[in-house]
A and B are shown apart, each in its own frame.
Chain A
Amino acid sequence: MPEIWELGLSAISRLIGQRKLSPVDVLDHYLDRACRLNPTLHCFNTIDAERARIEARSSEAEMSRGLYKGRMHGIPFAVKDIIDVEGVATTNGSRLTINEVAKTDSAVVQRLRAAGGIYMGKNETQEFAMGGPDFSLPFGPARNPWDIERFTGGSSSGSASAVSAGAVPLAIGTDTGGSIRTPSAYCGIAGMKPTYGRLSRRGITPQAFSLDTVGPMTWTVEDNAIALEALAGFDPEDPSSVEIAPQPWSQAPALGLQGMKIGLVRRFHEEERDRFSNECISAFETAALLMKDAGAETVEVRLSPLRHYFAAQRIIMYGEAAAIHEYDLRHNIEQYGPFSVERFLPGYLLTAVDYVQACRRRGELVHELAEVFRFVDLLLVVGALSVAPRMKDVARNSLVNGTPSANAPFNLTGSPAMSVSAGLNADGFPLSVQIVGRNFDEFSIYRAAHVVEAGMGCRNIRPHAAR
C-alpha cells in the first residue's frame, strides 16, 4: 500500500472526493514530511502548520455537510516566497524584505483557497527571483532531492525541491526566463508556465513586468492540469490579465495525440551543440518518437537562432528588473546577496536604445512564432542544458555569461510552455523536454506532455532524499 505522498495530487483528490481519505490526515502526512525533510532540503522558508490544520479541519467539516468544492478541495499547497499570503512575511528570500508581512492574499492564493486548497507554507526562492544559490542569505539555498550537492535550478528552487521530495503535492512558482521550467527539469517534476496573462500576478513581487508568469509545479502532468483549473481566471486588478475562457485541462491527458502536428525545434540545440549534453538531446529525440507513436505527425521547424530570442529576453529582463530595484540598489545595496547584485547590475549598463531595440526584436520574434503556429499545433524543444549541475559550479554571472537558455524564448513570446520529465540519465538524474503551445492552448500541451511522461515511465521512481 503506497503512502499518501506517493499517491500524488490526482489520486489523493479522488480519494478525498470519495470520502476515503480525510483532508486532516492528508495534511498531517505532508506536514510531517515537510518538517522532517526541510532541515536537509531547505525547501520551505515557512511551514504554517497551525493555520493549515485549522483549514484542513474546516474542509473536513464542509465535506461532512456535503459541500465538496472540486478537485483541489483538501489538497495542501505551498507558494514561492515572492507570493503574498495574508499575515505571512513575503521575504523574497532577502534580508531587505524579511519582515514585510502581506496584508492580503495574492490572487493565486485566493483562487486556490476558494477551490478548497490548504495553504501549508512558503517555499524558498532565490533572492527576488533573480539571485542564485546564495549561502550568505537567511534562507536556503534549497537542495535537490536527487542529490543534495546539486543545484535545484532557480528561481522557484524550494517549490521544485518540495514537490520532488513529496513534501507537498502542489507548489506555485514563477517564471520570467525559465524559473518554473529549469527547477522542474533539474528536480524531475512537471512545471507549467502558462500563457502570459492566463493567471493573475496580483500580489506577487515582480521581477520583470512584461515577462513574469506564475504557474503550477507538480509531480505529474495530470496533477498539474488539475491545479491550473483552480488557478486560472481573469483578474481586473492585474493589468496583464486576459479575459479568456478556461479549458478543461484535467481532461487533456486522456486524449492522446492522434491528429496533432508537432514541430521539432532541433535548431536551438544544434546551433549550440557543444553546450547541450548528449543525454538531453537524446531525451528530445525519444520524446519526438513517443509523440509520433501516439499518432502525432512530426515536422522539422526552423526558428531564428536561440541566441536572438535569448538576447531580447535578457535585455528586457535586465532593464525591467533594474527599474524595479533601482531605489533599493541605490540606497540599500548592502542588504542584497552577492548573487543578486551581480545579476541586477547589467540592467544599469544598458541604454534606453538597447531596451527599445529588444522590444522591437521581440515583436518580430513573436510574429515569427505566430506564423509557425499556423502550421503546427505544438513545438517540442530541448529542456535544460544538462542534468542538474553541482551547486558549487553555479556561477554568479551565469545569467549574462551562461549558455542561452531554451526556456527564455517563450517568456519573450508569452507562449505557454511546460517542462515535462523525460526519464533519468545513466547516473539516475532527471532529464526533461519542453513542450510549447499556441497562446492560451495549455490544453494541447497537457495532451502531449502526458504522452511523453507516460512513455518514459518514470513517475514511480522518486529521489533518494524522499525516502
Chain B
Amino acid sequence: MQIDRITSEDCAALIERAGLSLNQAQFEAALRSYGRLRELAESLRIPRNRAAEPAHLFHVPASPHAGASAFAKTETRRETGDE
C-alpha cells in the first residue's frame, strides 16, 4: 500500500475492519480523503528519540485506603465464606 494512494480493495478492507457499511458515495468520499489524511499523519513522524513520550502518559489515580476498597471487601467476604 502506497502512502499517498490506496486501492479500492484496500480501502474496502479498512472500512470493513472499522465495522462500517458505506454506500457508494460514502465509500468514494473515504477513498478521496485517504491521500491527504496520510499526508497529515506522515507529517507527525519527525525524528525523535525512542523514549520521547511527552504527551501520551497514563496518570495513575491515587488509590483509596484499602479498607474502603470494594475489591478488598470482596476478598474478605470470600475468605470468611460470607457471600
A residues engaging B (CB < 8 A)?
307-308, 310-312, 314-315, 318, 322, 326, 329-330, 333, 338, 341-342, 345-346, 348-351, 354, 356-364, 366-367, 396-397, 400-401
Contact = CB atoms under 8 A, between A and B. Distances in A.
Given A349-B33, A357-B44, A341 B56 contact: no
B15 to A, nearest CB: 7
B52 A397 contact: no
Nearest to B15: A348
A349 B48 contact: no
A50 to B, nearest CB: 41
Specify which of B14, B20, B21, B40 lies most central, judged by the most chain A CB atoms within 10 Å of its CB.
B40
B29 interface: yes
A350 B43 contact: no
- Judged by DSSP, the binding face of A is helix
Contact of A311 (B22, B43, B48, B56): B43
A363 B33 CA distance: 26
A361 B21 contact: no
A358 B44 contact: yes
15 contacts: A310-B40, A314-B40, A315-B44, A345-B22, A345-B33, A346-B33, A348-B18, A349-B11, A349-B33, A349-B34, A360-B53, A360-B54, A363-B56, A366-B54, A400-B36
Nearest to B14: A349
Contacts of B30: 345-346, 348-349
Nearest to A361: B44
Nearest to A400: B33
B46 interface: yes
Interface residues of B, number: 29
Given A333-B26, A349-B14, 14 more contacts: A330-B19, A338-B25, A346-B37, A348-B15, A349-B11, A349-B34, A349-B37, A358-B44, A359-B56, A363-B55, A364-B48, A364-B54, A400-B33, A400-B36
Q: Which of B41, B45, B53, B54 has the most CB of A within 10 A?
A: B41
Given A329-B20, A330-B19, A333-B20, A315 B40 contact: yes
A289 B34 CA distance: 42
Given A333-B22, A349-B14, A363 B54 contact: yes
A310 B56 CA distance: 18
Given A346-B33, A396-B29, A359 B55 contact: yes
B32 interface: yes
Contact of B41 (A310, A311, A338, A359): A311
A364 B46 CA distance: 11
A348 B46 CA distance: 23
Contacts of A351: 41
B46 to A, nearest CB: 7
B54 A311 contact: no
